Structure 1
């Protein structure tokens, strides 16, 4: 439930005095996410791209606004992956995103330029192609970190109708297999700051701590298929 913005606040800024080392010790503990939480957030971030084909599909049907909004959301998920793979906390406000990314490394700075180009690209089809190229680089980085067994991107499933080149489900599945059981079986996917963007919730501990029951509650409904989602 802890938003990365709060962890960023805890681990940044100059310490003027810490005579007993308490703040320094806490900073060491919070330097970055625990490994299993990091993997869990990676898994959820990849999950968005299984619907990348919908961007082109929306455009083909004349729903240009929907296509652009979806593309923007995919770019935001790619930004999240860049932060996660480089083990840097993601700021909670958009104002600081590009600056934080650019400071990570020259390679990430190139990613920033690519992401900006995707958002500015007039052609939806080219923008999707460029985004897939960036995702391929992130998959390569994934393999370099040896988080899971070697991942080779698979062709997109049949329902993508040729509007998406690759499937990213095998990356999700491989990451999921490395998680402890309690995270594998959470019914609500993703961390709180991956589900909620409201500053009113994420800035105040007395608000985001209220979501503990959401993660601990278990559904008493047995799912039988997609149809039960309607109910």
Structure 2
């Protein structure tokens, strides 16, 4: 098998195979079809390595509430009528393994164990979000793990007969402005809490501690860039690749220089330059308050800081929702702050915040 990007493969799979079969099943059935959710193929980041599990001819079909009773019938029809392979790729998959994954297998004969999931559209989104997508409050947005929003808004819609799938994805494209301001404030609060530690590590000649702190600042600064570009932060495997798509070459160059630098004073200087570059981007962004860009010493100590507290204050002052204005910033964006796939790929923190 020669690798073909999953989005390309599955758009053709829908157009040439699945779409015609759905028409044969019931020409009057109103449904939508897409490839969204989990997977590197959904993000367009797949390669030949990705083909070893949960990859191949696959997609989701969505029906409305009136057709919930036909879901099993649709699945069975596809099992009975799908070809065993498409463009050289098996449409037949193994049963789920202990880790929950499935793999393409040679189709022996008979029914195809396909990887086409069929859902009622509202139930699918509600299960992902734990709330009706049309009724999200500002606080609800903050309880949704960002990776889930990545998955719902990435990928491709092949057919939207329901006329709702594109609309629902568009509504989730990015946070409302006030939630965006809170996310920015929470990241700058992280900077405020630790920005003086960089200079302190320089003073003590603690290169390991300094590099760890600097790397953490890089991580936070890049996440601020995601917010400013109104792009959800994916989990760690795809973080850097997704950042490249923001097309911020100056900031990327500073991050690369900082992470490769081994001279303590130069690291501190580069951290300051990164602060200034990101704040310049923020000041140039619509709907975000401008803040003076200046590097100063931390009190009377010779530690270079940007005074992130003043940035946090300006962002908070621009928020009109009283609940958001008063929110504890340490609780905002915990999934992306903690940088652990234990939290970014599940709903552990979402459950805690909702409770």
Deviation at residue 47 of structure 1 after TM alignment: 1.7
Compared with structure 1, are the counterparts of its residues 139 and 195 closer, same or farther at alpha carbon in structure 2 (3 Å cutoff)?
Answer: closer
Matched, 1:126 2:266: yes
Residue ranges of structure 1 left out of the alignment (5+ in a row): 215-231
Hey, what does 2:324 align to over in structure 1?
A: 183
Provide the TM-score with structure 2 as the length reference. Answer: 0.55
Structure 2 CA distance for partners of 1:195 and 1:211, relative to 1, 3 Å? farther
Relative contact order higher in (CA < 8 Å, ≥ 6 apart): 1
Q: 1:6 aligns with which of 148, 153, 163?
A: 148
What secondary structure, in the 3-state scheme, does the structure 1 residue paired with 2:159 have?
coil
**Consecutive aligned runs of 4 or more in structure 1 exceeding 6 Å deviation:** none
Distance between the aligned counterparts of 1:25 and 1:9, measured in 2?
15
Of stretches 195-204 and 3-12 in structure 1, the one that deviates more from structure 2 is 195-204
TM-score (norm: length of structure 1): 0.81
Alignment of 1:41-190 (within 5 A): 41-50=183-192, 51-93=194-236, 95-105=237-247, 108-154=248-294, 156=296, 158-159=298-299, 161-179=301-319, 180-187=321-328, 189=330, 190=332
- The offset of 1:2, in angstroms, is 1.4
Tell me if structure 2 keeps the 8 A contact 1:156–1:165.
yes
Q: Rate the CA distance shift 1:127–1:157 in 2: closer, same or farther, 3 A.
A: closer
* Cα displacement (A) at 1:126: 1.1
| Greater Cα radius of gyration, structure 1 or 2 | 2
Distance in 2 (alpha carbons) for counterparts of 1:102 and 1:124: 27
Q: Unaligned 5+ residue runs, structure 2?
A: 1-142
Which one has the bigger helix percentage?
1
Query: Compared with structure 1, are the counterparts of its residues 96 and 131 closer, same or farther at alpha carbon in structure 2 (3 Å cutoff)?
Result: same
Deviates more, 1:143-152 or 1:129-138: 143-152
Name the structure with the higher strand share.
Answer: 2
Instruction: Name the CA shift for 1:62/1:9 in 2 (closer, same or farther; >3 Å).
Output: same
- Aligned residue for 2:158, secondary structure, equals coil
Number of aligned positions between the proteins: 210
